[in-house]
Amino acid sequence: MQPTRDQKVWMYENMLVSRFLEETIEQIYLEGKKPVFNMANGPIPGEMHLSNGQEPCAVGVCAHLKPEDVVTGTHRPHHIAVAKGVNLRKMVAEIFGKKTGLSGGRGGHMHLFDANVNFACSGIIGQGMGPAVGAALSRKMQKKPGVAVAYIGEGAVNQGAFHEAMNLAAVWKLPFICVIEDNQWGISVAKSASTAVKDNSIRAQAYGVPGYLVKGNDPCEIFRVAGECIERARRGEGPSLIEIETSRLAGHFMGDAEGYRPKGELDALRARDPIPAMKARLMAEDGMKQEENDAIVARARAKVDDAIQFGRESPYAQPEEALEKVFA
């Protein structure tokens, strides 16, 4: 299953939105944090996990999804949320902690929930698995359409939740796909130091489900494999697992000095940045001209600028609103 030209453009544009968003957040995050970096300060305080480099994982899968499909993201959720169609204004406002944000500022960047497009995430490693499996169960029981996709990092695969949820989805033959973003690092710990197998795709065998390894951080290849898995799930044939070799172009979170990275690694990864690669491909294979590119870039930029402006200018909730929304 190959993406159409429109789908490629969609993927490219969403990768750009995601990247522009991260680049803008990065700048704003640093406001108020210089000369002394103090996470508590600035317009965007707290931890900030940027997704630069991992955009292909988001767009290659989500290109197949409709709003009714369910996605759970990780602690590094922006690219996935963008590709899933989370309301960008509300999402950015949430990252700023504003009243107009997805949760009115209660959640923050690791807790983005958009019920309209069935997106959720958690800051706890591996804990998107169970809820996605539960959503898949809900669809099966209600005989409603929709698949559920859980994103998870390669480090998180060593968490018990992965194992339990994969088995449960397989036993119950649920419309579920586990997408592993293998960026080779769990904070400062390399995959080889944390994971007993080279490729997590082999772990699919432990659940009797198809397992795929996608190399090259290539949106089109991810699209192809994800398409198969999602179709399979839609046909009621059960879950599958995809491991995607991707790259983390930023620190684990902002402020990470990355002393643990081997020299040269980052440069090598940057040289393989998937976004210029996608642009080149569209130009080479799909006859995209510079003008069309400029228009796409401008659209992406405008979306981000609009959302950022909305987020920045929105007011905070009243402090005492903290006490609300504990219960439904």
Partner 1 sequence: MSTLTSTAAKPKQNERRVTIARAMAEAVAQEMRIDPRVFVMGEDIGQLGGVYGNTRGLIEEFGPERVRDTPISETAFMGAAVGAASDGMRPVVELMFVDFFGVCFDAIYNLMAKNIYFSGGEVKVPVVLMTSTGGGYSDGGQHSQCLYGTFAHLPGMKVVCPSNAYDAKGLMVTAIRDDSPVIYMYHKSLQGMGWLGTEPAATVNVPEETYSIPFGKAAVVREGNDVTIVGVAMGVHNGLKAADKLAAQGISAEVIDLRTLVPLDRDTVFNSVKKTGRLIVVDEDYQSFGLSGEIIATVAERDLSVLKASPQRVAYPDIPIPFARPMEQFALPNPDKIVEAFHAMKRT
Ligand X SMILES: Cc1ncc(C[n+]2csc(CCOP(=O)(O)OP(=O)(O)O)c2C)c(N)n1
Least distance in Å: CB of 77 to a copy of itself?
A: 23
Of 64, 75, 78, 84, the residue at the interface with ligand X (CB under 6 A) is 75
Residue 161 lies near a copy of itself (rule: CB under 8 A): yes
Task: Residue 183: name its binding partner from partner 1, a copy of itself, Mg ion, none (Cβ under 5 to 8 Å by kind).
Answer: Mg ion
Q: CB nearer to Mg ion: give 153 or 311.
A: 153
Kindly report the number of other CB atoms within 10 A of residue 120's CB atom: 20
Do 154 and 180 contact (CB within 8 A), yes or no? yes
Least distance in Å: CB of 129 to ligand X?
A: 12
Residue 73 lies near ligand X (rule: CB under 6 A): no
Residue 171 lies near ligand X (rule: CB under 6 A): no
Of 141, 187, 202, 280, the residue at the interface with a copy of itself (CB under 8 A) is 202
Report the C-alpha gap between 83 and 42 in whole angstroms.
27
Query: 65-94: which residues touch a copy of itself (CB under 8 A)?
Result: none
Report the C-alpha gap between 122 and 117 in whole angstroms.
16
Report the C-alpha gap between 315 and 98 in whole angstroms.
6
Of 141, 197, 295, 322, the residue at the interface with a copy of itself (CB under 8 A) is 197
Least distance in Å: CB of 247 to partner 1?
A: 19
Do 101 and 311 contact (CB within 8 A), yes or no? yes
Of 185, 207, 212, 223, the residue at the interface with ligand X (CB under 6 A) is 185
Residue span binding a copy of itself (CB under 8 A) among the ranges 94-102, 175-183, 195-203, 284-292: 195-203
Residue 153 lies near ligand X (rule: CB under 6 A): yes
Angle between helices 88-96 and 5-30 (to 10 degrees): 20
> H/E element holding 280?
helix 274-286
The CA–CA distances, whole Å, from 59 to 16, 145, 148, 241, 294 equal: 10, 21, 15, 17, 20
